[in-house]
Amino acid sequence: MSIGRIAAVMGAVVLAGEFLMARQDSPRVIYITAERFSFSPSQLSLRVGEEVEFRISSEDTSHGFRIAGTSLNATIPKRGHGELAVKFRPDHPGRYKFECNRMCGAGHSFMQGVVIVEDPTTPKASR
């Protein structure tokens, strides 16, 4: 098999992968639990351009969910009153802090986490 032939086969495999990803009609769902005074999980890994849906429920009172540096700023209903469902698609790689933005008690200011957004096209060695 010539080098050119191998490259053509690899290209076809990459295209097939992108086609499959584009065909997914529903975004990846990430479930998060909010509870005085933490989110679980508190560290989320996303890829640039990947749309996800956060489904966040509270174990106690109403909380907030705000991702710094983005327009995402929403309220998580209190336990037994359903869940917050919001879609999110990060445009840029980076570390985005998220936090509760509703005063929920003494430890409110500790209620935070981080979304780590990576660009899958950037080789790890160059970062």
Q: Looking at beta carbons only, is 40 or 45 nearer to Cu ion?
A: 40
Nearest distance in Å: CB 11, Cu ion: 49
Q: Is 54 helix (H, G, I), strand (E, B) or coil?
A: strand
Nearest distance in Å: CB 78, Cu ion: 12
How many residues form the binding site for Cu ion (CB under 5 A)? 4
Nearest distance in Å: CB 68, Cu ion: 15
Nearest distance in Å: CB 105, Cu ion: 7
d(CA 43, CA 84): 18
Map the footprint of Cu ion across residues 59-118, applying CB under 5 A: 100, 104, 108, 111
Q: Looking at beta carbons only, is 44 or 100 nearer to Cu ion?
A: 100
Q: Looking at beta carbons only, is 111 or 117 nearer to Cu ion?
A: 111
Nearest to 21 by CA among 49, 45, 55, 53: 49
How would you list the strands of the sheet with 73-76, edge to edge? 43-47, 112-118, 94-99, 63-67, 73-76
Q: Looking at beta carbons only, is 3 or 106 nearer to Cu ion?
A: 106
E strand residue ranges, 24-111: 28-35, 38-40, 43-47, 52-58, 63-67, 73-76, 84-88, 94-99
Q: Which residues bind to Cu ion, rule: CB under 5 A? A: 100, 104, 108, 111
